[in-house]
Amino acid sequence: MDKKTYTAKYIYPAVFDPCEEGGYCVTFPDLPGCITEGDTLEEAYEMAKEALSLHLWGLEDDGDPIPKPTSPADIKVPEGGFVSLIEVWMVPIRDKMANKAVNKMLTLPRWLNDLAEEKQVNFSYVLQNALKEYLGVSEVDKPIIKFER
């Protein structure tokens, strides 16, 4: 399995702009499509952290380059808006996404399904354990992620 090297944290400038209907709209000039909003400044800030972390995780996961952040002094801010630096720590995001459950459809003979249901078998638990045994892996064998400082 390939080992990937990532930055452990990112800091990007975000533009907070009052929304017409109230609250704040938040955009990241360096990350097109990374947009969020919040009813209050505190909520907008929390939503900005979440949007930034998930957007950057998506870029990493797709193997896309991570753009360098623009200096806040170089950002044009709409009237009534302001720039704030948003910091995200990626370690918990990567761990959460790596352990996120995925749905898999599988086919079993009816008799086996009926017997398993009669015995109240947890199909997900059994399949996970069987796959780990078949692949010769355990929880400690999860992909290794290296971090740059």
Residue range 14-36, pLDDT digits in tens: 999 999 899 999 999 999 999 99
Same domain flag for 55 and 128: no
Name the token pair of 131: 């796959």
pLDDT value of residue 2: 47
Same domain flag for 92 and 121: no
pLDDT value of residue 149: 44
Same domain flag for 51 and 115: no
DSSP-assigned letter for residue 72: G
Residue 103 lies in a domain: no
**Domain end marker among 98, 120, 136:** 98
Residue 30 lies in a domain: yes
Backbone phi and psi for residue 16, each to the nearest 5 degrees, phi listed first: -100, 120
- How do strand 9-18 and strand 35-38 relate by DSSP bridges? unpaired
Q: How many domains does the chain have?
A: 2
Residue range 89-112, pLDDT digits in tens: 998 898 888 888 888 888 999 999
- CA separation, residue 116 to residues 3, 80, 132, 133 (Å): 38, 62, 20, 20
Specify the pTM: 0.72
Q: What is the CATH number of the domain that holds 78?
A: 3.30.160.250
* Burial of 75 (C-beta count, 10 Å sphere; 0-12/13-18/19+): middle
Say which residues have a Cβ less than 8 Å from residue 126's Cβ, sequence separation at least 6. 116
Residue range 116-132, pLDDT digits in tens: 999 999 998 899 889 88
In which domain, by residue range, is 136 found? 110-148
- State mean pLDDT over 61-85: 95
For the chain, the residue count is: 149
Question: What value does the mean pLDDT of the chain take?
Answer: 89
